[in-house]
A = this chain, B = another copy of it.
């Protein structure tokens, strides 16, 4: 296995995670979460989105949060923008990177953003140009790269087609997202390989949802292809709107636990990351969706020791 020796994680919890939470989280809490992630060693954080508050009320405080963050020069802050209007609103917040998004599934594109894949790309083209004119990097998030709630399986050719379009409009790098978490290792590898036809491995990140418990296996499958950029959410923030009550983004804690166990450097302090997860989970009034975070937290109060009455195998 040609595994990378270092991995860079973009924590998308403040954006992709919280946008799927029903209760609106105060800007102060979001800001504190970003600060905790910074202190835990995250060097890329997806902070918010500049989408109409009609559609995503959770992110209506986007400029306020970006303004409140005590930014560090060694950390990159990204924001999601859907169109030129969103970009214009975002630019005053000086993001290091903007994220545009398109789907590998035609049906999902229509239902999620009310336009065809081709139309969504046309809409981005001037945004990419405007961002580059201001020295802002652009990431293209490719959703539904292995499965779609409307179409079922997505063929690698659909992913390749989307990657080609994104390359065509000048996007700097792309995420291969398994939006509904139905991917399994070989399907993820096929989606990544389709993307590699248009972007080098250094420009491709994995973004796997854990809805069906597959994200850690999929992360390993991506590492085996040399991928070293991943998106995840502290505490596994965010549910899945396509299977209510199910989990959403893979938890950053679980990914970091695996990477450190494999001797792969992330620059992240897992204990402080667990603290960040405990903080936001407490604010949301629910347990963390991170298994590593939960296990580490549960072990903290008392010294290790077995319960009576069990023979453990």
Chain A 33-59 per-residue mask, 1 if CB under 8 angstroms from chain B, else 0 = 000000000000000010100011110
Chain A 213-248 per-residue mask, 1 if CB under 8 angstroms from chain B, else 0 = 110110111000000000000000000111111110
Chain A 177-215 per-residue mask, 1 if CB under 8 angstroms from chain B, else 0 = 101011111110000000000000000000100111110
Residue from the list B99, B186, B219, B244 in contact with A262, Cβ < 8 A: B186
Question: Which B residue sits closest to A219, measured CB to CB?
Answer: B217
- Nearest chain B CB to A210 CB, angstrom units: 6
**B246 to A298, Cβ gap below 8 A?**
yes
Q: Please report the C-alpha to C-alpha distance between residue A306 and residue B182 in the assembled complex, in whole angstroms.
A: 15
- Nearest chain B CB to A270 CB, angstrom units: 10
**B247 to A291, Cβ gap below 8 A?**
yes
**A80 to chain B: which residues have CB within 8 Å?**
311, 313
Q: Please report the C-alpha to C-alpha distance between residue A219 and residue B185 in the assembled complex, in whole angstroms.
A: 11
Q: Is residue A254 contacting chain B, with contact meaning CB distance below 8 A?
A: yes
**A240 to B186, Cβ gap below 8 A?**
no
- Taken together, the copies of this chain in the complex come to 2
**A296 to chain B: which residues have CB within 8 Å?**
212
**B51 to A213, Cβ gap below 8 A?**
no
A residues neighboring B (CB under 8 Å) = 16, 19-20, 49, 51, 55-58, 80, 82, 99, 101, 108, 111-113, 141, 143, 149-150, 175, 177, 179, 181-187, 207, 210-214, 216-217, 219-221, 240-247, 251, 253-254, 257-258, 260-263, 290-292, 294-296, 298-299, 304-307, 309-313
CB pairs A–B below 8 angstroms (15 shown):
A58-B309, A112-B306, A183-B261, A185-B258, A212-B296, A213-B216, A214-B292, A220-B220, A241-B307, A242-B312, A243-B295, A243-B299, A244-B307, A246-B294, A247-B291
Known A179-B312, A213-B251; 5 more pairs at CB < 8 Å: A51-B311, A80-B313, A187-B261, A240-B295, A244-B307
